Amino acid sequence: MNSQHAHGARPGFGRPLPDEARQPLRRGTIRRVGALYSPYRLQLTVVVALVLATAGLGILTPLFIRHIIDVSLPSGDRAELVWLVVGMAAVAAVSGAFTLLQSYLNIGVGFRVMRDLRRSVYRHLQRQPLAFFTRTRTGDIQSRLSSDVSSTQLVLTDTLGNVVSNLATVIASIIAMLIISWQLSLVALAVVPIFVFFTVRVARRRRRLTGETQRALAELTARTGETLSVSGILLAKTFGRERQLTDQFEENNDRLTGLSIRQQMTGRGFFVIVQTFFTMAPAIIWLLGGFFILDDGPGGNVTVGDIVAFTTIQVRLLFPISGLLNRGVDVTSSLALFDRIFEYLDLESPIADPPNPVTVDPARVRGEVRFDHVLFSYPPGERPPHAAGPLVPTTRPETDGAAATQTPSLDGAEPFTVDDIDFTAEAGRLTALVGPSGSGKTTIGYLLARLYDVDEGRVLIDGVNVRDMRLEDLSRLIGVVSQEPFLFHASIQENLLYGKPDASAGELIEAAKAAQIHDTIESLPDGYETIVGERGYRLSGGERQRVAIARVVLGNPRILLLDEATSSLDTLSERLIQQALARLRQGRTTIAIAHRLSTIIAADQILVMEGGRLRDRGSHSDLVSRSDLYRRLYEEQFVAIPAL
């Protein structure tokens, strides 16, 4: 039996994320960015109203100036002059207050949208299958979640107010300019379409460079995270690769720097030309307006007050236009960032809660596990994380700078398949899985915990298909103790509480005692408040393992999955952990994946795996007598090897 074809179109599994820098501008991206603001409609309505009011007030000052020059001063009306000046001061004060309030609301909305976006991405990533994390670099995930979202700050926090304000100012200014002199208005606005055309070209180039820069930043983040972790530093020092890693970092750092400079400088020359023209534009209006006044030409009845008011309004017009052009480039560039973020939000997870889940009460679950003629194969080109061991995957460092990596098998074989697996692990009993590396033992554990879904057949707990359960309920039923337990860079207490967040101090102590680790914790200077370091490196391997067991004890699962839990420990640590596991197994269904046959000789049932198939089953004595494969595995471990 084979089902490789079943994986060809798995959403979110094997397909690489597209090169966003070369994707065409997506209309849907703009629409989705706008949808992020929908929870904050009221605040945005107030922002728009304040912006429009501020823009309208801004037109009054030039008109007051024109009236002072053309009417108040020639007529000598002092009272009118005073009132107009007071009006100008009042307009400035009110505009300032409106601007401050508008900025507060606008920035608040922008940062809340960033918060919502981070939360959405993080929640969506939590729902992704294990396969996504085994092929995607942690640094790339971190870059999109933190750097990409943070880089959208300018767009999210300032764009709406900036665009609305500039548009309102531009529209009001054009109306006022046309009222003063339509001839001067045509001259002032003639070059704007040309500037818009070149702005679009600059924006496209900036968007491409933004995508390349963010990928380079993700690569640098990933390499830094890998090489400066405890494991990475240990590997570098033991192999003497510090210089090589430094050279690689400098190469990536130089590339990021070069791209960042190109990104920031793209269009700078063009905008300098724009700013220079806008600065010179009033002089052109004074020249043309002066000719109109001196020659009484086609400009009509243009007065000095008209020119002063016009040039004042012109400055208020041209610089908002410049701001709109700049913001258009910024927004277009940021769309590359949103594309990267939305790519993660668009990933589909094939492993999800069923529409109508079966209600599962952990207190009533007996824990019988049934594999009913199960067949499963990994997608083409993919290997299971840690094909020979733990259920806690790690991502291998890459050397080619790609965004994803695959975990190759230890022997370089093609992805294996578990084929027609059929067995029952009785409730409260110990079932052991043995076999050579790559035989499919760990995959059995993945399928039970529903880290992957079977292609054919069923995995049942007390007769209920695991695919019919909520993932949260399933995780409460199964406790995993792996070969390489993961501990957070936090205190021992915080790591233990991961198993039961509301556990009392007494429950923590009882769990630690059950795991044979309480006395060791008490002997530490800070006791349960001791920080274990990254991945628990401040503790020994045996201590980390016993803390992990205590964490599982707190969770009180009905089914225990032991994945090579003692294979890498010294004799004393193994004995302590075996004692802890013996207490943990009491009353629980236990499935133990083991290389050391000494740990499972007393198992109620031993399943012998080879090549993804179940070759034999029985007790230790039965298998030694009749199974050549099991007898060979047993003799390799217990028969002395002659000295050379």
Q: Are residues 94 and 214 in the same domain?
A: yes
Q: Are residues 369 and 272 in the same domain?
A: no
Half-sphere exposure of 421 (CA within 13 A, CB side): 34
Mean pLDDT estimate for the chain: 75
Q: Are residues 329 and 379 in the same domain?
A: no
Residue 400 located in a structural domain? no
User: 499 falls in which pLDDT band (50, 70, 90)?
Assistant: confident
pLDDT at 349: 79
Give the list of residues 6+ apart from residue 121 with CB closer than 8 angstroms, or none. Answer: 144, 145, 149, 341, 344, 345
Does 12 or 366 have the greater pLDDT score? 366
Q: Are residues 284 and 375 in the same domain?
A: no
pLDDT at 587: 76
Percentage with pLDDT > 70 across the chain: 74
Assess whether pLDDT exceeds 60 at residue 387. no
Tell me the DSSP string of 58-110. Answer: HHHHHHHHHHIIIIIHHHT-HHHHHHHHHHHHHHHHHHHHHHHHHHHHHHHHH
Q: What angle (nearest 5°) sits at the alpha carbon of residue 358, between those of residues 354 and 361?
A: 130
Residue 70 located in a structural domain? yes
pLDDT at 278: 67
Region 192-197 average pLDDT:
72
Assess whether pLDDT exceeds 50 at residue 436. yes
pTM of the model: 0.65
Residue 354 located in a structural domain? no
Say how far apart CA 443 and CA 24 lie, in whole Å: 40
Residue 12 burial class via C-beta count within 10 angstroms: exposed 0-12, middle 13-18, buried 19 and up:
middle
Q: Are residues 80 and 205 in the same domain?
A: yes
User: What six digits make up the tokens of 445?
Assistant: 């554990």
Q: Are residues 519 and 486 in the same domain?
A: yes
How do residues 591-615 score in pLDDT, each as one tens digit?
Answer: 888 777 777 787 889 999 888 899 9
β partners of residue 247: none
Q: Are residues 307 and 370 in the same domain?
A: no
Say how far apart CA 562 and CA 352 lie, in whole Å: 25
If you ran DSSP here, which 8-state letter would residue 619 be given?
-
Region 220-227 average pLDDT:
71
Residue 606 located in a structural domain? yes
Residue 267: other Cβ atoms inside 10 A:
21
Q: Are residues 319 and 391 in the same domain?
A: no
Instruction: State residue 286 phi and psi, 5-degree precision.
Output: -60, -40
Residue 357 located in a structural domain? no
Structural domain range at position 508: 362-395+406-638
User: What six digits make up the tokens of 488?
Assistant: 């957070």
CB distance 317 to 173 below 8 Å: yes
Residue 18 located in a structural domain? no
The CATH number assigned to the domain holding 442 equals 3.40.50.300
User: What six digits make up the tokens of 592?
Assistant: 């133990």
Q: Are residues 387 and 242 in the same domain?
A: no
DSSP β-ladder status, 417-425 and 589-593: unpaired
Q: Are residues 296 and 432 in the same domain?
A: no
User: What's at 261, amino acid-wise?
Assistant: I
Q: Are residues 320 and 387 in the same domain?
A: no
Region 218-229 average pLDDT:
70
Assess whether pLDDT exceeds 50 at residue 419. yes
Residue 497 located in a structural domain? yes
pLDDT at 351: 83
The CATH number assigned to the domain holding 140 equals 1.20.1560.10
Q: Find which of 72-81, 150-159, 278-287 is predicted with most confidence, using mean pLDDT.
A: 72-81
Structural domains counted in the chain: 2
Region 452-460 average pLDDT:
92
How do residues 236-274 score in pLDDT, each as one tens digit?
Answer: 665 666 777 777 778 887 887 887 777 667 766 766 776
pLDDT at 342: 84
Dihedral class, residue 136 (left if φ above 0, else alpha if ψ from -120 to 50, else beta): beta
* 3-class DSSP state of 478: strand
DSSP β-ladder status, 430-434 and 417-425: unpaired
Q: Find which of 74-83, 134-143, 461-470 is predicted with most confidence, using mean pLDDT.
A: 461-470
| Helices H / strands E in the chain, number of each | 23, 10
pLDDT at 333: 66
Q: Are residues 43 and 122 in the same domain?
A: yes
Say how far apart CA 308 and CA 184 lie, in whole Å: 12
Q: Find which of 102-106, 140-144, 162-166 is predicted with most confidence, using mean pLDDT.
A: 102-106
Residue 10 located in a structural domain? no
Say how far apart CA 123 and CA 116 lie, in whole Å: 10
pLDDT at 168: 74
